[in-house]
Amino acid sequence: MNGRLPKKIGRRSFLGISGKLGLGITGILAGSTGLFYYGETQRRKRATPKERPGNIIELGKLERLSAIAGIEKVEYEATIQDAWVAKSIKGFVYITNDTNGQLLILSPICTHLGCTVEPTSDKERGAIDPIGYRCPCHGAEFDSIGNATGSGRGLQGLATFKPLIADGSVYINLLSPVEGRASTRRT
pLDDT tens, 151-169? Answer: 655 678 899 999 999 889 9
Q: In angstroms, how far apart are the furthest CA atoms of the chain?
A: 118
- Spell out where 28-135 has E strands: 56-61, 72-82, 85-97, 103-106, 118-119, 133-134
pTM of this prediction? 0.67
Q: Is residue 26 part of a domain?
A: yes
Q: Is residue 89 part of a domain?
A: yes
Phi, psi of 90 (to 5 degrees): -125, 145
Average predicted confidence (pLDDT) for the chain:
82
Query: From the DSSP assignment, how many helices (H) and strands (E) are in the chain?
Result: 3, 11
Residue 3: give the domain boundaries.
1-48
Q: In the chain, how many domains are there? A: 2
Residues 97 and 127 occupy one common structural domain: yes
In this predicted structure, which of 26-30, 167-171, 180-184 has the lowest mean pLDDT?
180-184
Residues 30 and 108 occupy one common structural domain: no
Residues 69 and 159 occupy one common structural domain: yes
In this prediction, residue 30 carries a pLDDT of 84
In this prediction, residue 126 carries a pLDDT of 62
Amino acid present at 13: S
Assess contact for 177 and 161: CB atoms under 8 A: yes
In this prediction, residue 187 carries a pLDDT of 42
Q: Is residue 132 part of a domain?
A: yes
Residues 22 and 110 occupy one common structural domain: no
For Cα atoms 18, 23, 28, give the angle at the middle one, nearest 5 degrees.
130
Q: Is residue 184 part of a domain?
A: no
Domain CATH code at residue 123: 2.102.10.10
Residues 38 and 91 occupy one common structural domain: no
Q: Residue 88 half-sphere exposure, CB side, CA atoms within 13 Å?
A: 1
Residues 68 and 156 occupy one common structural domain: yes
